[in-house]
């Protein structure tokens, strides 16, 4: 049975306009990435994970993650930590910044996160995990979602026992990436676990892992009865993958379209991060956008060697002159930066991309 991926659904009182969710990814999910995802069909977009300790200590870079533009909604801001009350205060801050949903990370497998007792480690400490969800849910005033893995070790089924308890504690939706933390991103996502989780809880479940095409999305939705699918790595530098999943439009973008999207992404990232930070941050994106046979490999290497983002934009326009008109159209649709919600407690330098 084919699922209409353009059909809306609800996370408590928040309507999600499509069945496609853009994953939170550290070092990737900046505002420009999220806004692009919304344009290409993602019904819900998520920030990269935000440290509750960083928010507690008013860390300038951490607070900088809390920029929200009006064309991002509905938006989930993801937080991580291991102390319930600190997480509750972080939830209060991200809601004040404009989050429609507070997402809690119980899935990150990276050592620097798990060694603090956060991320996927909490699947092995269900009492603390539930205390975190309860504290956040009682404070946030918006729906709380939880993103988790199957467990720490290969073969773990911890998600199936912890998941229902998290719902009892106040989670309004669960996202399951059915790989273990040990697996990282190797092997395959076992969506038979997703189907079991759907049977055990009475909230929407989002299926994450190996959603790389419309056919795969349809298969996972049909076999698991999940409410939606989440796409992560497949959308890196490739928003057209989102369009293919939602609408079945598999047309390859022209070189001009690719260059235009990259130019807008570069400019918006500079606005958000500032020129110095953006220059380093953007380097990984050049290969993602320009690969897949879209441009010669040598062109990506050429861009990486350029010193400024202005030089990057000029080189892209020289390689694809027709991109200029597309860029103009894309930028005309962007909201005024003045519409962003900015917390009064943020250091003023963040507003200028410091």
Catalytic choice (46, 108, 130, 159): 108
For 198, the enclosing helix (H) or strand (E) is helix 191-200
E strand intervals along 139-276: 144-151, 173-180, 205-208, 228-231
CA distance to 111, 140, 321, 328, per residue, from 143 (Å): 28, 8, 45, 37
Cα separation, 253 vs 339, in Å, equals: 31
Nearest to 79 by CA among 58, 50, 55, 59: 50
Question: What's the half-sphere exposure (Cβ side, CA atoms, 13 Å) at 221?
Answer: 23
Look up 159 and say whether it is catalytic.
Answer: no
Cα separation, 285 vs 25, in Å, equals: 13
Classified as helix, coil or strand, 75 is strand
Cα separation, 143 vs 153, in Å, equals: 29
Report the relative pairing of strands 173-180 and 205-208 from DSSP bridges. parallel
Residues with catalytic annotation? 108
């Amino acid at each position: 049975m084919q699922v209409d991926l353009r059909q809306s659904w609800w996370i408590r009182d928040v309507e999600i306009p499509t069945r496609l969710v853009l994953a939170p990814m550290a070092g990737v999910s900046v505002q420009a990435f999220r806004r692009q995802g919304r344009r290409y069909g993602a019904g819900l977009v998520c920030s990269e994970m935000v440290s509750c300790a960083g928010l507690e200590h008013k860390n300038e870079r951490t607070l900088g993650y809390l920029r929200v533009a009006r064309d991002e909604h509905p938006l989930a801001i993801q937080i991580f930590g291991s102390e319930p009350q600190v997480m509750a205060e972080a939830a209060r801050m991200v809601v004040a910044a404009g989050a429609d949903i507070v997402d809690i990370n119980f899935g990150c497998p990276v050592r620097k996160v798990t060694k603090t007792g956060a991320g996927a480690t909490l699947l092995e400490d269900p009492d603390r995990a539930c205390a975190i969800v309860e504290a956040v849910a009682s404070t946030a005033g918006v729906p709380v979602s939880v993103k988790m893995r199957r467990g720490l070790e290969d073969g773990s089924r911890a998600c199936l026992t912890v998941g229902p308890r998290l719902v009892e504690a106040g989670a309004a939706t669960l996202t399951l990436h059915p790989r273990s933390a040990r697996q990282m991103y190797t092997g395959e996502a076992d969506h038979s676990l997703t189907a079991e989780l759907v049977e055990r809880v009475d909230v929407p479940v989002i299926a994450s892992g190996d959603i790389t095409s419309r056919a795969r999305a349809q298969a996972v939705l049909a076999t698991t009865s999940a409410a939606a699918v989440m796409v992560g790595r497949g959308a890196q530098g490739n928003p057209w993958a989102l369009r293919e999943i939602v609408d079945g439009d598999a047309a390859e973008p022209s070189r001009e379209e690719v260059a235009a999207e990259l130019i807008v992404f570069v400019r918006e990232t500079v606005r958000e991060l500032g020129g110095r930070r953006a220059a380093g941050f953007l380097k990984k994106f050049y290969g993602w956008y320009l690969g897949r046979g879209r441009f010669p490999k040598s062109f990506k290497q050429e861009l990486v060697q350029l010193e400024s983002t202005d030089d990057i934009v000029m080189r892209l326009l020289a390689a694809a002159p027709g991109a200029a008109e597309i860029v103009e159209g894309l930028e005309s649709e962007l909201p005024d930066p003045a519409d962003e919600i900015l917390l009064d407690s943020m250091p003023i330098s963040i507003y200028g991309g410091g």
